Amino acid sequence: MKVSQLLHASILVQDVAAARAFYEGVLGLSPSAQRPDLGFPGVWYELGAQQIHVLALANAPQHIHHEHGGRDRHIALSIDDVDALKVKLDAQGIAYTLSRSGRRALFCRDPDGNALEFVEVKT
């Protein structure tokens, strides 16, 4: 057996509308038509061959939140311009911290406190 790739990451949220405003309005992602009716609210986003699954869960368990998202459970996404993301986050009043590794990367949180890392990858 060999694990070969990440297919999706699931993120638990209490408010799907607030999550969609962040993932679609701030990050510019588009909902996937591939999500079947699972009997509970949520939305999927396709990122190349991978997906983010946003799943609604009333009273979603909270986890420890460190000031810097890199010390918390998080998913990392590649982007082409960290500075452009900073402008969007600043405009929305969304706090972020810069990567402490020296890479061009930053960490922020979605409305439910899920930590996200954005790493600049030039293509």
* Structural domains for the chain: 8-56 (3.10.180.10), 69-120 (3.10.180.10)
**What is the pLDDT, as a whole number, of residue 4?**
77
**What is the pLDDT, as a whole number, of residue 59?**
73
Put residue 72 in one of left, alpha, beta given phi > 0 → left and psi -120 to 50 → alpha. beta
- Helices marked H in the chain: 16-20, 82-92
**Beta-carbon contacts of residue 117 (< 8 Å; ≥ 6 apart):** 69, 70, 74, 75, 76, 77, 99, 105, 106, 107
The whole-angstrom separation of Cα 66 and Cα 55 is 23
User: What are the two backbone dihedrals, phi and then psi, of residue 88, each rounded to the nearest 5 degrees?
Assistant: -65, -45
**What is the pLDDT, as a whole number, of residue 80?**
92
**What is the pLDDT, as a whole number, of residue 62?**
66
Question: The tokens of 51 are what?
Answer: 């997906």
**What is the pLDDT, as a whole number, of residue 57?**
82
Question: The tokens of 35 are what?
Answer: 């999500």
For the entire predicted model, the pTM comes to 0.83
Question: The tokens of 48 are what?
Answer: 């190349």
Interval 64-81: pLDDT, tens: 666 766 667 789 999 999
Which residues of the chain fall short of a pLDDT of 70? Answer: 3, 60-66, 68-71
| Residue-averaged pLDDT of the chain | 88
